[in-house]
Structure 1
């Protein structure tokens, strides 16, 4: 098995065969990594002649050292009984949930995970990966304690005997995983609890201490808090399995310290062996660093679930970019687009109901859009309800909004990046992004909320003038086409004679609290690289679009920190900063080079993930590819089709 080769990378080999017997086509890096592998009694006849790391070399090694008649991977859930999966779990999937065949991600992950080896899986969202890690995890818990399969086990559950933990970067995703786990365990005695930030800790502990817990789904901050609290009663001395879902996102939002502290508080793997599964859409260097601390180096498999020639979501979904002439045109263009697409869907009986997610870069912009959207619905200007999800809302409010949007036949969700990964919102027909995203990765993850499970969808990007240049570089190579069909996008607010929807916005904005407008105003400066030009544009938006005599007042200190001259700002002694909102996440930036030889199996894993899937984008001038705005990078984990052409807009 390939993981035997990985073990040999970190443990001394027995008798080694001379490297002279290695295929001459191998690179120096590969020869060094595979030197310990040549202890096999059976000679290796052939290995891939280029260094593509695990996926291809694993196939070559596997071909030579596996049994003559390798076991076929199970692809139907019913067949999992052959691999020892408990019947109660299979019945829940097949009979209750109605699934028969596994998705490719499920088949590629479940089969090796059931062997007990640790797993590092690169997998996209929307591919069934939740069941892919939950099923082996739950089965391992039952295998270690058969009594958990009985419904009576729920009566004996305790909060200090947790057998499995799933960590998620966001509250919404954690709650979604917990719901899926409860569906899988309905025929067993396993008790599922969730622990996420933004909820009442005392109430959660009361429920867990009263009902017990076998599987805990949590966000890192809340779990770390519970484990450090000696009075919580939360403990996991018999931990059988640990899963980190969306590991790259978890590190991206600053949970690395909490994750390290959590690991230190869990049982020592030397005394209680546990299976660890780390799932990530991308494999940047910080994920590799995390894997080194959590995954057994001598017993793990890297599962690549993205076929090399697969057409990714962002290749299949039609994408439109609408450059707008000013920030004063952004909301009118957005409402024109929403109204037009909703009407089009309503008039076509063969079209799915209009259901859209609108992404903004900052929480304050979501707040502003939510206020105006609510007023539009109240005034009867639209029949489509809208909901908001952003980090300033309580978890109860966020969960309620997510549930209502999920259940709605036709609706609009206004969101920051808290819903961009892992969240499953069915039947989303449109993803609309306002302003240039912080990274190419963010753009693709947001777009991935539509076009899921073979359904159709489309993406729209509304770009104010300050973001066009950076967006061209960041998104080069994606099949994005410029769209000039929105009349309000190019209207000249200074010349007057505006389309009716501009006047509609100007009327509605008068009802929005000034604090929300001020926060939205200052939040736009956080990520902009052209702050002076932005200040000039926002001055006209505030004075002409809002009807204010001056933009929101700001302090001289704030202007200095933003490096903006007083021109087009409203500097006042009592000026407020309004908001320090710079969004729900920050950029990782470039994190390392691929020039050195891999230090170990983990680094080689990361390079394989990047070399096969990293985009080879071209900028508008045909220069080097940009991983993120303003920085070169190869850690994005996405692949550009070799035949695709640079964007034309």
Structure 2
């Protein structure tokens, strides 16, 4: 507790932190909490994923709100002498009793001289602190009940819905022994329910930009105070502030900075694992720059990127804390890659999942890829859980909970799961497709090797992804290839057979769904035309020979796959189909984890593991022939 107390953290927060076994602060927290709490500095923090950035801005916000509320508790709202200290012009329609009923009885309305328009002078008590209650003047004009004039002290913006929920959970736990109310606003959930939550006046609002702007644009009274918030935090800022992302965020920033006086008193927190990372100009912008000589498009330096954020958010007293290294990833993270052709990625992915048990997170670049992999690996009985922006929010959160509850769970996701999510004990992160930016690679890989734990990230790449891979290595300062993950190619024959049968089943099921949809359309058309036809006649007319053959093929494929899945995939001493006397590998033993195997290879053969940057095209599996020594040599090489 003394370590936290030395940083300026109050005991009421320390007690909640100890309950969560946060017995000592992390490095980023040790460097940011003193200037934030004791010096009230604006913080720009960059640290590796899993380093505790959420509490680095959450604790100062909670502490600041507690100080403000304590200050209000000790202030004397009414001047004891009730002296007439000033006059101002006011609209007579204002209902004094609705604003300050305890003083309305003392008000001598006979002293108010009205003109023909009903406007006069009323006495004002100047020692009432309305600055700490943002937006109260607007609420007075609308004759809102006093209970609805609760202040909004802090606003936290995040790029994804799941991250917003996670931040809320962290802050609720840290404010466990306080009376601070926290609300989360995000798309995919009922807006009416969120408006009902806002009517209770939460002091902290955590939101995604789209839903926040929607409710603000509709005139929500509690959110109308955002230009007067005392604390503003933006998590995973680099992507949110990029041009073309989150158009609502630019409008929100303009609205927040509308009140210049309040902006000067505001404390701002900006955090991201890639805050100081810059990447090359995209190809389409580079072509535009080449066409126009006077183009202002240029690559930012880390200092220019930070300066742009400072100017955009109107930061006055910045304290920059950068703990990121050149690689951008955690020291406890082991990186490797698998080079293969496009058609063989499914084989290597299935091989990895069956060979190395553990909680695995698979990233794709598109929703279509997530859906295809989820369907294919469901057929292979790997029980994958999809996660992408096209799903309902309730299902997204449900899949996350299921993934966290399963020690050998498989989650297939787009980049909505890449930033900020703290999923415990993720052992493997697999990039099924090379990410388009180095920031995405760092954030994806950061879902493992969190809080000083070890983890492995595997980059699956095909020749057409060479350009993205080269850009990634260049941005991360890599002059050598990422080490290659070891795969026993002779064991892939059994893997290939299973995956191919599953692919056939997927295609046949798709055809069956299309036929059923056509059948349903025909029935609906008959009903719309008020035709009377026997159901047996309709079924017999649509039950063609092709449909019957399709069902037989599907049944045969399913039986074949069930037979394959009932047998061990990697029997000891066998390569899957042929007896191999030279294979000394106990492939049924999963005690050797993927990270241990990779670390051992790097330690034993550091030169072989790291080569000059090239893209290796693996020998196609269909060319594996046990009778051809030349092909075996090429494969082993």
Match in the other structure for 2:261: 270
Provide, for residues 319-354 of structure 1, a one-character-per-residue CA deviation record: whole Å limited to 9, x for no partner.
3322223x2212122111101112xxxxxxxxxxx0
Deviation at 1:255, TM superposition (A): 4.0
Q: Which structure 2 residue ranges, 5 or more long, are not aligned? A: 75-145, 279-299, 515-552, 555-609, 615-636
Match in the other structure for 2:506: 509
Match in the other structure for 2:172: 182
The question of whether the paired residues in 2 share the 8 Å contact of 1:357 and 1:430 is answered with: yes
C-alpha spacing 1:263/1:441, structure 2 compared with 1 (3 Å): closer
Match in the other structure for 2:373: 369
Aligned counterparts of 1:489 and 1:287: Cα–Cα separation in 2: 50
Aligned counterparts of 1:450 and 1:516: Cα–Cα separation in 2: 38
1:305 and 2:323 are equivalent in the alignment: yes
Q: Which has the higher helix share?
A: 2
The question of whether the paired residues in 1 share the 8 Å contact of 2:332 and 2:453 is answered with: no
Deviation at 1:438, TM superposition (A): 0.6
The question of whether the paired residues in 2 share the 8 Å contact of 1:178 and 1:194 is answered with: yes
The question of whether the paired residues in 2 share the 8 Å contact of 1:322 and 1:483 is answered with: yes
Q: 1:433 aligns with which of 414, 431, 434?
A: 431
Deviation at 1:508, TM superposition (A): 3.7
1:79 and 2:76 are equivalent in the alignment: no
The question of whether the paired residues in 2 share the 8 Å contact of 1:157 and 1:213 is answered with: no
* Greater Cα shift, 398-407 or 363-372: 398-407
Aligned counterparts of 2:50 and 2:513: Cα–Cα separation in 1: 34
The question of whether the paired residues in 2 share the 8 Å contact of 1:160 and 1:235 is answered with: no
Q: 1:196 aligns with which of 178, 182, 186?
A: 186
1:220 and 2:209 are equivalent in the alignment: yes
C-alpha spacing 1:205/1:102, structure 2 compared with 1 (3 Å): same
Aligned counterparts of 2:452 and 2:495: Cα–Cα separation in 1: 40
Matches within 5 A, 1:35-434: 76-80=3-7, 83=8, 85-94=9-18, 96-114=19-37, 115-146=39-70, 158=148, 161-209=151-199, 211-231=200-220, 233-236=222-225, 238-252=228-242, 254-255=244-245, 257-266=247-256, 268-271=259-262, 273-280=265-272, 281-283=274-276, 284=278, 285=300, 288-297=307-316, 299-306=317-324, 313=329, 316-325=332-341, 327-342=342-357, 354-377=358-381, 382=382, 385-434=383-432
Provide, for residues 571-629 of structure 1, a one-character-per-residue CA deviation record: whole Å limited to 9, x for no partner.
xxxxxxxxxxxxxxxxxxxxxxxxxxxxxxxxxxxxxxxxxxxxxx99848xxxxxxxx
Give secondary structure in 2 for the equivalent of 1:116: coil
Deviation at 1:234, TM superposition (A): 2.4
Match in the other structure for 1:590: none
The question of whether the paired residues in 2 share the 8 Å contact of 1:388 and 1:415 is answered with: yes
> Aligned pairs, how many?
417
The question of whether the paired residues in 2 share the 8 Å contact of 1:113 and 1:136 is answered with: yes
Aligned counterparts of 1:515 and 1:440: Cα–Cα separation in 2: 41
Aligned counterparts of 2:431 and 2:460: Cα–Cα separation in 1: 6
The question of whether the paired residues in 1 share the 8 Å contact of 2:48 and 2:330 is answered with: no
* Greater Cα shift, 212-221 or 435-444: 435-444
The question of whether the paired residues in 2 share the 8 Å contact of 1:473 and 1:619 is answered with: no
The question of whether the paired residues in 2 share the 8 Å contact of 1:172 and 1:423 is answered with: yes
Deviation at 1:243, TM superposition (A): 0.3
C-alpha spacing 1:79/1:620, structure 2 compared with 1 (3 Å): closer
Match in the other structure for 1:5: none
- Larger radius of gyration between Structure 1 and Structure 2: 2
Give secondary structure in 2 for the equivalent of 1:179: helix
Give secondary structure in 2 for the equivalent of 1:426: coil
Match in the other structure for 2:441: 443
Aligned counterparts of 2:491 and 2:2: Cα–Cα separation in 1: 49
